[in-house]
Amino acid sequence: MISTNDFHTGLTFELDNQIYEVVEFQHVKPGKGAAFVRSKIKNLHNGAVTERTFRAGEKVKRAHLERKEMSYLYRSGKEFCLMDLNTYEQITLSEQQMGEAVKYLKENDTLTVVMHEEEIIGVELPYTVELKVVETEPGVKGDTAAGGNKPAILETGLTVQVPLFINTGDLLRIDTRSGAYIERV
């Protein structure tokens, strides 16, 4: 058990048979009445972020999450085959379990599978990935980074806004948290 007074960003806990992660929190001590903890918590099963107020000192059950490094092997329809890098055991995840990760994954990429008591909760990607441009309008001599943006379709099917000087075949670094172009590699 952990006290709500000990909340910190990234803490995971169980509440109503769901696993939550603290996204934001604020300890509030009003001039009149009891102190409380105002928090934003993310449901790790469905990704929903909600605001919740806890009494100061209220106890919640801490959830210990296990993280396993896995390699993405291949996609078969709506299922994704992953291999544990330590045991070489293979598992299959659905599109729903993979979530936003499907937009950024290429075969043989490494990702982290998050588990709670042997149940897979989700996957975590590295903060950046390198993807090749498969389709975009050609760049023209004189186009600069500050000159504007154009859409580019990447090898995973993801469409991102890129500077005008980017061409088909370029390798780009993409931020997996925002889906934004960072730089040409």
List where CATH 2.30.30.30 sits in the chain: 2-62
Percentage of residues of the chain with pLDDT beyond 90: 47
Check: CATH 2.30.30.30 for 2-62? yes
Helix (H) or strand (E) segment spanning residue 96: helix 95-98
Per-residue model confidence (pLDDT) at position 95: 86
CA 185, CA 175: separation in Å to the nearest integer?
A: 13
Q: Tens digits of per-residue pLDDT, 81-127?
A: 999 989 999 999 988 888 888 889 888 999 999 888 888 888 888 88
Residues β-bridged to residue 1: none
Amino acid at 59: K
Determine the Cα–Cα distance for residues 154 and 5; give it in Å rounded to an integer. Answer: 45
66-124 carries CATH number 3.30.930.10: no
For residue 175, how far is the Cα from the chain centroid?
10
Average pLDDT in the 17-34 region? 90
| pTM (whole model) above 0.85 | no
pLDDT at residue 146, rounded to an integer? 60
Contact between residue 7 and residue 58 where contact means Cβ atoms under 8 Å apart: no
CATH number belonging to the domain at 128-184, selected among 3.90.180.10, 3.30.1310.10, 1.10.10.10, 2.40.50.140? 2.40.50.140
Q: Is the pLDDT of residue 26 over 80?
A: yes
Which residues of the chain does CATH 2.40.50.140 include? Answer: 66-124, 128-184
